[in-house]
Amino acid sequence: MMDKKIAVIGMGYVGIPAAVLLANAGHDVIGIQRRSKRSGWKIDWLNQGRCPIGGNEPELPEMLKSVVKAGKFRVTDDYSAIRDADFVLIDVQTPTDENHIPQYDSLKEVAHPIGKQLRSGQIVIIESTVAPGTTEYLVKPILEQESGLKAGFPDGFGLCFSYERVMVGRLVHNIREYPKIVGGIDEETTRQCVDLYQSIVKGGVHGTDPMTAEVSKTVENAYRDVQIAFANEVALLCESLGIDVYDVRRFVNGLPNDPSVPHANPVRNMHFPGAGVGGHCLPKDTWLLMHGFDEYAQYKAEGTHGIQYPSSLVIDARTLNDWMPIHMADLLEVALKESGKELKGTKVGVLGYAFLENSDDSRNTPTVPLLQELDRKGAQYVIHDPYIKRTEEGYLIEPDLDKALKGCDAVLLMTKHDQYKSIDLDRLNNLLRTRVIIDGRNLFEPEKFIDAEFVFKGVGKGNINKLKSHSS
């Protein structure tokens, strides 16, 4: 594909790597970012070739510096810049509220000014995850109303949903290596978008329609969420039955492929149980899927509001995964009791505020519901995280690990940052007032702590008493 003019709206975890890769492939890319108090600073940083995304992001900072230096990528807050773009990518946040209803303020906020600039022949691509039906029934009407054009070639504009698959810590890798699904409202839109993405995607680019692409994205994350919930339920069963979930997981995942169909997906791929599920994706994509079903099912099958069925696996999975931080507090309460202490009035060292290891991303972090539960139970806490200095929610982060743990009655691990792997017993012995460890991510070896007379609890670790009897 010849070098194209591309506008990318929203300089975040999705927009920045997409813009940089497209510029690196030779396209002329302009980033559009609102000059808000919260994110306006990114415009100047990016135009200086500085990457606003913290944590370890292989290739991104260097690639950004080189495309800015080469004049292939610049950022502005001026929407008139999209007037001569061939493609306009929408990469804004699409959160859900406390009632799990999609909040499309940012999406609408950008759709109106885009519509005002739109000319026939341009193509708008939504990459942000949206509820099924949103491209056709929410974004298209806004663009048509503002532009006065009809969506669709040959006379109007193109519109497409092509979802992101980013993951902090591997932003560039996922865009380049993972297959890309392109859901265009008509064949010409799909053809041109497939062409565009083939200039940056090695993993294959596949055409379909917007609804199928929207459902595929939300299902992809709901699938992962259900797998994690399954692992969490098994962990709770193992705790109650006095065994180690990681032994069970090893044996279950050890089942080989069926030799008659060697290419088939692994028969079992039990995920990791843990202290909760955070991030901008899994905690909300299930609700986007169900919202699409609730809102738009009637459009598809006249007269039916979608099939009514007895129980929702995906919603139950959400409920269980959202409960895991509470389970962490319960494990702590039991452990402190074993040390002759009540949770009320004790001081807890909480390790990890980010939702994912070795990242500075704390969106929907499971640590917040844990802290709310500790507040409810009258415990004090000090939070440590090597990647996060300030929190949106107003919690203070103690950057010095020793200071964070000094005088605590328990250490509770929420995020599996590499730095915590080097925490040693002597250090903890000197710092803690009471020797209690709650491991929410299977980072620590229980035997070591039990031998040193710590009270150790872990998600899915029901075999601690057995280990104790062996060590005494």
Residues found near ligand SAJ in the complex (CB under 6 A): 164-168, 220-221, 224, 228, 271-272, 274, 277-279, 281-282, 355-356
CB of 133 to ligand SAJ, least distance (A): 18
CB of 323 to ligand SAJ, least distance (A): 13
Cβ proximity to ligand SAJ, 51 vs 356, nearer residue: 356
CB of 442 to ligand SAJ, least distance (A): 10
CB of 152 to ligand SAJ, least distance (A): 28
Cβ proximity to ligand SAJ, 167 vs 297, nearer residue: 167
Cβ proximity to ligand SAJ, 72 vs 457, nearer residue: 457
Find the length of the chain.
472
Cβ proximity to ligand SAJ, 81 vs 167, nearer residue: 167
CB of 285 to ligand SAJ, least distance (A): 6
CB of 288 to ligand SAJ, least distance (A): 11
Cβ proximity to ligand SAJ, 157 vs 353, nearer residue: 353
Cβ proximity to ligand SAJ, 7 vs 168, nearer residue: 168
CB of 174 to ligand SAJ, least distance (A): 6
CB of 10 to ligand SAJ, least distance (A): 14
Cβ proximity to ligand SAJ, 279 vs 349, nearer residue: 279
Cβ proximity to ligand SAJ, 272 vs 406, nearer residue: 272
